[in-house]
Amino acid sequence: QMMYDALLGAVMFGVPGGDGPWQGVKFLCPVPGYDRHFAICERLGIEMIPVEMLDDGPDMDAVEALVAEDASIKGIWCVPKYSNPTGAVYSDLTVDRLAAMKCAAPDFRIMWDNAYVVHHLTGDIASVKNIQKAAEAAGNGDRILTFVSTSKISLAGGGVAAMSASKTNIDDQLERMFFSSIGPDKINQLRHVRFFKDTAGVAAHMVKHAEIIAPKFAVVEKALTAAFEGTDLASWTKPEGGYFVSVDLADGCAAETVKLCAEAGVKLTASGACFPYGNDPRDRNIRLAPTMPTVDELERAMEVFCTTAKMVCLQKVAD
Ligand SMILES: Cc1ncc(COP(=O)(O)O)c(C=O)c1O
């Protein structure tokens, strides 16, 4: 909601450093990415330009070339740590390049959605360089809008969310929030403070989450390895945090696999969901979200998924 409000405000009123409301503007969207980011853009009439997501963040050569020459490109979506859906972690170099790159738009914004900032699956905790500080050092302090929430820390639908940015951006946001809300749910904020106490309290809590969900990721990895290792029918990510595994099947096989799985009782994220306008040009990507089912349910679901995906891919290869 905070991200939606921030962009709605930009479209309605503009942002500091710009010359008015964002009309006829574009956003860069690393793909595969988060469907709800893309839905916000689509809803607000912001045209989306896909850029490839690599292991250490978006393809920065492509990003830098695009933002340097087109002033209608006003921003980029980023999930810097354990990205949705690939689990990629942005490297320091990627952070520095995003913070310092030359943008034709003076009011360019990086939507830094740190949704998985403390959501580690292993003891090997990734750290991402502070982009706000890097942007300030490069003279671009107003470029970054950072968002976090406790949806997947305390309670989905009952968490708290936060935004951090330069004083100029926060003042701008507060000025607009004045009209949309009397104030936040302070009792819920207090509940969170009393429960977690401090950063160490959050970290200790996330270890317990990892104990619950890491075995589920292990089920997914084991099933995919058993079904596809040594074949060229599928490749998949091995995230060290976050909530998803991103699977790439042979081209042209994702939609059919999702459809057949649904018929067999296994509901997956819609094919194409991780791409702007729901359009996966190669129809190959499927996002697996293994956190909710029990280990037993997940084992059965993965059996259905792997069998189905293999069948669809083999048929495609044979055609
Ligand atoms: C990258 C990312 N941002 C935001 C969210 C949603 O956050 P919230 O529940 O706080 O709206 C999700 C949930 O899947 C997500 O993956």
Closest Cα partner for 136 from 89, 96, 108? 96
How far CA 112 is from CA of 109, 212, 281, 302, 315, in Å, comes to 9, 27, 26, 32, 41
> Domain tally for the chain?
2
Q: What residues form DSSP beta bridges with 246? A: 287
Same domain, 65 and 143: yes
Same domain, 20 and 112: yes
DSSP calls for 173-241: HHHHHHHH-S---HHHHHHHHHHH-SHHHHHHHHHHHHHHHHHHHHHHHHHHHHHHTTSSSEEE---SB
- Pocket around ligand 1 at a 6 A CB cut-off: 34, 79, 84, 113, 115, 149, 151, 161
Question: CATH number for the domain including 311?
Answer: 3.90.1150.10
Q: Find the mean pLDDT for residues 107-115.
A: 98
The pLDDT assigned to 89 comes to 98
The residue whose CA is least distant from atom 8 of ligand 1 is 151
Ligand 1 nearest-atom number relative to CA 152: 9
**315 Cα: distance to centroid of ligand 1 (angstroms):** 36
**78 Cα: distance to centroid of ligand 1 (angstroms):** 12
The residue whose CA is least distant from atom 13 of ligand 1 is 115
Which of 1, 113, 117 for mutating ligand 1's site (highest number of atoms within 8 Å of CB)? Answer: 113
Q: Domain range holding 177?
A: 2-192
Q: Find the mean pLDDT for residues 115-126.
A: 93
| pLDDT higher at 123 or 152 | 152
Task: Look at residue 141 and tell me if it is in a domain.
Answer: yes
Sheet with strand 285-288: strands edge to edge: 234-236, 245-249, 285-288
The pLDDT assigned to 35 comes to 97
Same domain, 302 and 160: no
**310 Cα: distance to centroid of ligand 1 (angstroms):** 31
Question: pLDDT tens digit string along 48-76?
Answer: 999 999 999 999 999 999 999 999 999 99
Task: Look at residue 197 and tell me if it is in a domain.
Answer: no
**248 Cα: distance to centroid of ligand 1 (angstroms):** 22
Same domain, 213 and 181: no
Question: pLDDT tens digit string along 170-217?
Answer: 999 999 999 999 999 999 999 999 999 999 999 999 999 999 999 999
Same domain, 173 and 269: no
For residues 25 and 182, is the Cβ–Cβ distance under 8 A?
no
The pLDDT assigned to 123 comes to 86
Band of pLDDT at residue 319, cut at 50, 70 and 90: confident
Question: pLDDT tens digit string along 220-253?
Answer: 999 999 999 999 999 999 999 999 999 999 999 9
Same domain, 161 and 288: no
Task: Look at residue 201 and tell me if it is in a domain.
Answer: no
Ligand 1 nearest-atom number relative to CA 242: 16
Same domain, 108 and 180: yes
